[in-house]
Amino acid sequence: MQPLQGIKVLDLSKVVAGPQCAMMLGDLGAEVLKVEMPKGGDDARGFTPFQNGMSALFASVNRNKGSITINMKDPEGLEILYKLVRESDVLIENMITGGAEKLKIGYEDLRKINPKLIYCSISGYGRKGPYARRGGYELMAQAIGGVMSVTGVPGNEEPMRVGYSMTDIGTGFLATIGVLAALIKRQQTGKGDWVQASLLSTQMGFASYFLTQYMVTGVNPKPAGTRHASMAPYQIYKAGDGTLLIGMSNEKQWKRLCEHPKFSNLGENPDYQIMADRVAHRDELQKDLEAILSQMTVTEALAELNQINVPCSSINTIKDIMNDEYIVNNLLTVLHIDDVGDFTVPKFPVEFEEITTEVKSTPPLLGQDTNAILQRLGYTDQMIQSLREKGAI
């Protein structure tokens, strides 16, 4: 089953965070209609690289959607949007604070048209406070949210961006949770709600124990590479022909390592008996552990560690991921678009026993469903042509 079957979503958002949220709702069965401006549409349509004219980034976050082009600055275009709002359950927008209100499509405007509407706003810094009217992107969110200050290698405090757009994608995930919660609340009360997610609030959620630990210790965290402030061994280690990751969070794992003949001398060191001691002596531990690992290849070391159930991993490139048979067959899917080609994208990132998530449609061409939707709303071909000539669609 698909739990959101029958739910109608209007996706007015652009680029990544909002479209990610709308796509996930579509994966769960919602009928999603992407609303775009007639000229250019979603900014992401213009982001390189392209395949036969379609942006790979756009393709990654816009499956399971239709597309209608509406000029919301035009009165007749605005009236079309209002008609769609009346029959919709959810609307997602990510305009700068005040932008939606200026167009007369803010929460207060649209709740008068449809009191049951779930209105989801995604912004850089939230809809209130001194940052509210600032434009915000992934890079700014990582900077103001602190993650750039703790990313990088020890000894080099130059701020570094996390490679993935983790704030955009994460905000899309959290907005999805917010919309689902609001839908459940609507079932109970019959009333809509205003769901507000922001890149900054996502970053604060990700900061989590970093904030708490700072308040406890007063020590400002610095880049630690792959090390963890509270656990050791937990980082990249050198083996005979490369590097691998080893990470442990409890004494049972440490005991299993020390019971292995090749690593038994580590258990005899009084400085490594409990986690707090190993964290305090992590430099010495790294040297001792790498002295053992240097006698093995990465493949051999991973085999030995996996055999005793000690958490470890190779360090993959994106190319390596695409050559991992399990990941490709179970966690990714291929979107085939006629005349455009194939795009490999992540599946819905949660599995269920009975709920199904599926790809019902590929990312839409700009405005591909405009005529069909307007005809459904009662517009004749002549009226549609007139709207197009006026620039309303």
Tell me what pLDDT residue 129 has.
Answer: 86
Main-chain dihedrals φ then ψ at residue 245, nearest 5 degrees: -105, 140
Based on the fold, state whether residues 55 and 152 are members of the same structural domain.
yes
Based on the fold, state whether residues 82 and 153 are members of the same structural domain.
yes
How does strand 234-238 pair with strand 193-198? unpaired
What percent of the chain stands above pLDDT 70?
Answer: 100
Q: Which of 288, 316, 344 is the last residue of a domain?
A: 316
Tell me what pLDDT residue 346 has.
Answer: 96
Tell me what pLDDT residue 136 has.
Answer: 86
Burial 370-383 (b: 16+ CB within 10 A, else e): bbebbeeeebeeee
The answer to whether residue 153 sits within a structural domain is yes
CATH number of domain containing 120: 3.40.50.10540
Domain hosting 25: range is 8-206+326-390
The answer to whether residue 321 sits within a structural domain is no
Based on the fold, state whether residues 68 and 29 are members of the same structural domain.
yes
Tell me what pLDDT residue 44 has.
Answer: 97
Based on the fold, state whether residues 36 and 167 are members of the same structural domain.
yes
Instruction: Please state, in angstroms and rounded to a whole number, the distance separating the CA atoms of residues 37 and 41.
Output: 5
The answer to whether residue 224 sits within a structural domain is no
Based on the fold, state whether residues 296 and 332 are members of the same structural domain.
no
Instruction: Please state, in angstroms and rounded to a whole number, the distance separating the CA atoms of residues 391 and 385.
Output: 10
Torsion of CA 216, 219, 225, 226, to 10 degrees: -20
Based on the fold, state whether residues 270 and 139 are members of the same structural domain.
no
Based on the fold, state whether residues 101 and 176 are members of the same structural domain.
yes
What average pLDDT score do residues 229-252 get?
A: 95
Tell me what pLDDT residue 155 has.
Answer: 87
What average pLDDT score do residues 154-165 get?
A: 91
Based on the fold, state whether residues 98 and 176 are members of the same structural domain.
yes
Structure tokens at 266: 């580590």
Based on the fold, state whether residues 171 and 85 are members of the same structural domain.
yes
Does residue 132 surpass a pLDDT of 90? no
The answer to whether residue 132 sits within a structural domain is yes
For residue range 316-352, what is the model confidence (pLDDT) as tens digits?
999 999 999 999 999 999 999 999 999 999 999 999 9
The answer to whether residue 226 sits within a structural domain is no
Tell me what pLDDT residue 148 has.
Answer: 95
Reply yes or no on whether 109 is catalytic: no
Tell me what pLDDT residue 220 has.
Answer: 94
Instruction: Please state, in angstroms and rounded to a whole number, the distance separating the CA atoms of residues 305 and 298.
Output: 11
* Angle of CA points 325, 329, 331, to nearest 5°: 110
The answer to whether residue 121 sits within a structural domain is yes
Task: Quickly count: other Cβ atoms within 10 Å of residue 242's Cβ.
Answer: 12
* Cα–Cα nearest to 104, from 80, 144, 145, 73: 73
Q: Which of 293, 316, 339 is the last residue of a domain?
A: 316
* Choice among 11, 168, 193, 369 that is catalytic: 168
Tell me what pLDDT residue 135 has.
Answer: 83
Confidence (pTM): 0.93
**Mean pLDDT, the chain, whole residue set:** 96
Q: Is 151 or 129 the better-scoring residue by pLDDT? A: 151
Q: SS3 of 111, please?
A: helix
The answer to whether residue 214 sits within a structural domain is no
Based on the fold, state whether residues 268 and 374 are members of the same structural domain.
no
Q: Which of 283, 298, 316 is the last residue of a domain?
A: 316
Instruction: Kindly state the helix (H) or strand (E) to which residue 203 belongs, with its residue range.
Output: helix 199-217
What average pLDDT score do residues 228-244 get?
A: 95
Based on the fold, state whether residues 330 and 353 are members of the same structural domain.
yes
Q: SS3 of 337, please?
A: strand
What average pLDDT score do residues 364-373 get?
A: 96
CB 370 within 8 A of CB 35: no
Count the domains in the chain.
Answer: 2
Tell me what pLDDT residue 162 has.
Answer: 95
* Cα–Cα nearest to 92, from 30, 33, 18: 18
Tell me what pLDDT residue 134 has.
Answer: 87
* Cα–Cα nearest to 125, from 109, 106, 145, 108: 145
The answer to whether residue 1 sits within a structural domain is no
Based on the fold, state whether residues 330 and 310 are members of the same structural domain.
no
CATH number of domain containing 283: 3.30.1540.10
For residue range 8-63, what is the model confidence (pLDDT) as tens digits?
999 999 999 999 999 999 999 999 999 999 989 999 999 999 999 999 999 999 99
Cis check for the bond before 233: say yes or no (omega within 30 of 0). Answer: yes
